[in-house]
Amino acid sequence: MTSNAELLEIAATIARRAAAFALQRRRDGVEIAASKSSLSDIVTRADRETEQLIRDALAASRPRDGFLGEESGGGSSDSGLTWVVDPIDGTVNYFYDIPAWAVSIAVVEGDPDPATWRTLAGAVVNPVLGEVFTAYAGGGARLNGEPIHVNEGVQLPLALVGTGFGYDAEVRRRQAALVGELIGEVRDIRRIGAASLDLCGVAAGRLDAYFERGLNPWDHAAGALIAQEAGARVSGLGGGPADNRLIVAAAPDLSDQLHPRVEPYFAAWE
């Protein structure tokens, strides 16, 4: 039976290779292949090529495992394990050459559903900055091999909080309304543009907290585990598992302050 540490080694090795490939494609010049949910929700040819590279590498290494990717969808699992992949998280940043994008690979046990899966290992690689965030269940979180931990003992008025916005214009307006209220209650707000890096930012103490609505499973599968293994509580509506309705990540003491502040706003959307 493959250990979680061995699964992480597979995830990190393939993520590094895929990130190097995507970085070279960025240097060669970006070509938009399509728009998805809106004109601002773009997919580049490099997204598709990078996901195919990852899918092929995983099929060669773990042929019985399932696959769930942003660009190519899913594949069934005969082993009970599924690899959840975002080939380029932060595609708009990638397109504009903003150095805040990453390759995210996680492996989960159970159905590929954040409400029920158990994440075993995950890697998030930002090749522009040369940063590799990793974690496996029970093994702690690391940045380039060095242990990382969330900030603790932070009160909400002193918290640096990350968030993100949807691609639909009306959704962004509603999300911005909450930010407009919250920004006077915290140290400041950051909008980085890549959920995996937001979650890793919480893990590394670069952000005190992070919340968002509208994430897909591949957006947070690896990053959520890394944040949890660094000491964060990662939760959704009602304190349940994070999903597309809400994700909040912070040290437990800060989560107790932030979660009740943002949850009623997003719960009202249901």
| Residue in the structure block whose two tokens are 């595609």 | 91
55 three-class SS: helix
If you search the block for the tokens 């919250």, which residue do you land on? 182
Bridge-based pairing state of the strands 32-35 and 73-75: unpaired
77: which 2 tokens?
Answer: 């699992």
**Residue ranges of E strands in the chain:** 32-35, 42-44, 66-69, 73-75, 81-89, 102-109, 118-126, 131-136, 141-143, 146-147, 160-162, 188-190, 209-212, 233-235, 247-250
According to the model, what pLDDT value does residue 39 have?
Answer: 43
The whole-angstrom separation of Cα 110 and Cα 105 is 16
- Quick count: other Cβ atoms within 10 Å of Cβ 35? 12
Spacing of C-alpha 244 from chain mean position: 12
Q: What is the pTM of this model?
A: 0.95
Contacts of 13 (CB under 8 A, 6+ apart): none
Per-residue pLDDT of the chain (270 residues), as tens digits, is 899 999 999 999 999 999 999 999 999 887 776 555 454 455 778 889 999 999 999 999 999 999 999 877 677 789 999 999 999 999 999 989 999 999 999 999 988 888 899 999 999 999 999 999 999 999 999 999 999 999 999 999 999 999 999 888 888 899 999 999 999 999 999 999 999 999 999 999 999 999 999 999 999 999 999 999 999 999 999 999 999 999 999 999 999 999 999 999 988 886
Residue 50: which of 4, 18, 3 has the closest Cα?
A: 18
